[in-house]
Amino acid sequence: MLQVDESPSQSIQSILAQVARREPQSLNHCIERYGNLIWSIAKRYSPSQADAEDAVQEIFLELWQKADRFNPSLSAETTFVTMIARRRLIDRFRKQSRSVEVNSVENDFDEQPNLSSTASVELIDEAAKATRCLDGLVANQRDILRKSIQEGKSHSQISSELEIPLGSVKSFARRGLIQLRQCMERFSVAGTGVAS
Amino acid sequence: MSSVEANDYRIQELAAGYSLGDLTDAEWHEIQSYDRKIFQAMVERSEEASACTFLTFQNTVPSERMPAELSSRLQKMATGFFADDTTPAIQKASNAVTIAPSAMGVREISAWLCMAASIALALCVWLPGKREWVTSLEEQRASLIASAPDILRSKWESTAPETKPGTELGEVVWSTASQQGFMTIRGLPANDAKKEQYQLWIIDPSRDDKPVDGGVFDIIKDGESIVAIQAKLRVDKPTVFAITVEKPGGVVVSDQKRLPLLAKIASN
């Protein structure tokens, strides 16, 4: 399930807004609330446990530094946190080595409950949009995006696992992400309802 | 599909590749041929879609708890984060961030050093009320100089007739810790990107004898240009930065027939 520890008091107010106001306990609240989520992302995009731990520290520091730039009217706080985390991890990977494959610390894909993507609509609005839009993708695109974005696997790993040519994996992933983005933007414009 | 539509789709495709972390070297070069603001805006939209997608998938897997030891380490970092100028953990002076090692362990210091540079160099800046990529290269360069503890600087020397005589040619700045750098260039003529482009090379004898590709770029106007260095491989001990003129898109190995600017690092 979504790894955001949200106590009732914390859910009322943005944690990042508290960090931006330099409230004494806000950083610990931030760690409590987003620690598991950021750890989950870091594990999937890091070649080792130590690397994942270093990445988590970097991500939190960046998050605290950029807390004042979060605007709740533009995105959910969880989305903002995820964007910062993913960008930091991808940059780390690119700088460390552009030729070394990233192996996830742990592959729990096979252990996932077999849930329909529409079974998880309840949490945040933006994830709900993504859920509906993911359902509009062809199965291959959805699988490739899951392995790339959620599991942090390289295209060559995905190519090998799914026995699809590398070029096709890249093409499916990019086209899938473009379709998702366009679908989610149509949702945003429409306000409610299902994007076509 | 019209050429405008094809161009627009290509930008979307490259932005998706950027968000997925799968751009090739050639595509990194290609990005530089597009309007920076348009591309960055598209990247931001792609990254938001990627983040939402991650959260959606993540919602279907069992929760994982962060290791307790890591949590403790984060809490220690948090203790020093709001410290003011008099506290030992982190001291801020103007734009610079300096570290007081006694307050943190090696791991924390590494993270701080890394973040001091990376925050300064972050590609995107979020502003309340609107989403924009607003950090100019000039600001990024100034932040790097202010924050990087290992900044290297060297002035360009003219080695060919391309440069205008008597011109202050600018300089290169580089931080090995953050693997980031910028070139300030004056006096190089604007190039026609369809015919030729400038390409940076970084010589790092600690790697091997092959120069590292520092990225292809264009000079689009007279006067001063600031260009971010896009080193394609890690650079540890750079000794020379050299700019060559190459075919559009750059080359893998330069014949160095046209090498207008050179900057030597005095000591390393």
> What does the pLDDT look like over B53-104, one tens digit per residue?
888 887 777 768 899 999 999 998 888 787 643 333 222 222 322 222 233 3
Query: Quick one: CA dihedral B137, B142, B147, B153, positive or negative?
Result: positive
Query: Quick one: CA dihedral A12, A16, A20, A22, positive or negative?
Result: positive
The tokens for A2 are 């979504």
**In this complex, which of A3, A82, A94 lies closest to B51 when CB atoms are compared?**
A82
Distance from CA of B110 to the nearest CA of A (A): 9
Distances (CA, A) of A152 to A106, A181, B95: 10, 19, 35
Distance from CA of B154 to the nearest CA of A (A): 23
B135 touches chain A (CB under 8 A): no
Distance, in Å, from the CA atom of A14 to the CA atom of A16, rounded to the nearest integer, reads 5
Question: For A88-130, how does the pLDDT look when each residue is reduced to its tens digit (9 = 90+)?
Answer: 888 777 665 443 333 333 332 222 323 333 333 334 466 667 7
Identify from A181, A186, A188, A189 which residue to disrupt to test chain B contact, counting B C-beta atoms within 10 A and taking the largest count.
A181
**Average pLDDT over chain A, rounded to whole?**
75
pLDDT at A186: 82
pLDDT at B240: 93
> Which band of pLDDT confidence, cut at 50, 70 and 90, is reported for residue A188?
low
B200 φ, ψ (degrees, to nearest 5): -95, 140
Which domains are assigned to chain A?
1-135 (1.10.1740.10), 137-196 (1.10.10.10)
In angstroms, the first-to-last Cα distance of chain B is 53
Residue B53 and residue A150: Cβ atoms within 8 Å? yes
Most confident of A72-76, B68-72, B225-229: B68-72
Q: What is the pTM of this model?
A: 0.53
In angstroms, the first-to-last Cα distance of chain A is 28
Residues 13-72 in B contacting A (C-alpha not used; CB under 8 Å): 13, 16-17, 19-22, 25, 45-67, 70-71
Residue with tokens 């000079």: B219
**In this complex, which of A71, A93, A129 lies closest to B21 when CB atoms are compared?**
A93
pLDDT at A59: 92
> Which band of pLDDT confidence, cut at 50, 70 and 90, is reported for residue B2?
low
B108 touches chain A (CB under 8 A): yes
Residues B148, B157 contacting (CB under 8 angstroms): no
pLDDT at B144: 83
Query: Quick one: CA dihedral A101, A104, A107, A112, positive or negative?
Result: negative
pLDDT at B38: 87
B31 against A16, higher pLDDT: A16
DSSP annotation string for chain A: -------HHHHHS-HHHHHHTT-TTHHHHHHHHHHHHHHHHHHHH-SSHHHHHHHHHHHHHHHHHTGGG--TTTS-HHHHHHHHHHHHHHHHHHHH-SSSPP--S---GGGS----GGGGTTS-HHHHHHHHHHHTS-HHHHHHHIIIIIS---HHHHHHHHT--HHHHHHHHHHHHHHHHHHHHHHHHH-SS---
**Complex ipTM tops 0.90:** no
Question: For B107-135, how does the pLDDT look when each residue is reduced to its tens digit (9 = 90+)?
Answer: 333 333 223 333 333 333 332 223 333 34
Distances (CA, A) of B125 to A126, B40, B46: 21, 11, 16
**In this complex, which of B54, B61, B126 lies closest to A41 when CB atoms are compared?**
B54
Residue with tokens 């989305």: A79
Distances (CA, A) of A37 to A26, B67, B68: 17, 12, 14
Q: Which residues of B touch A98 (CB under 8 A)?
A: 25, 232-233
Q: Over 80: is that where the pLDDT of A43 sits?
A: yes
pLDDT at B173: 94
pLDDT at A195: 38
Q: Which residues of A touch B126 (CB under 8 A)?
A: 66, 69-71, 80
**Three-class DSSP category at B69:** helix
Closest of A1, A175, A127 to residue B53, by C-alpha: A127
Distance from CA of B13 to the nearest CA of A (A): 6
Neighbouring C-alpha atoms within 13 Å toward the C-beta of A133: 27
Q: Which residues of B touch A113 (CB under 8 A)?
A: 60-62
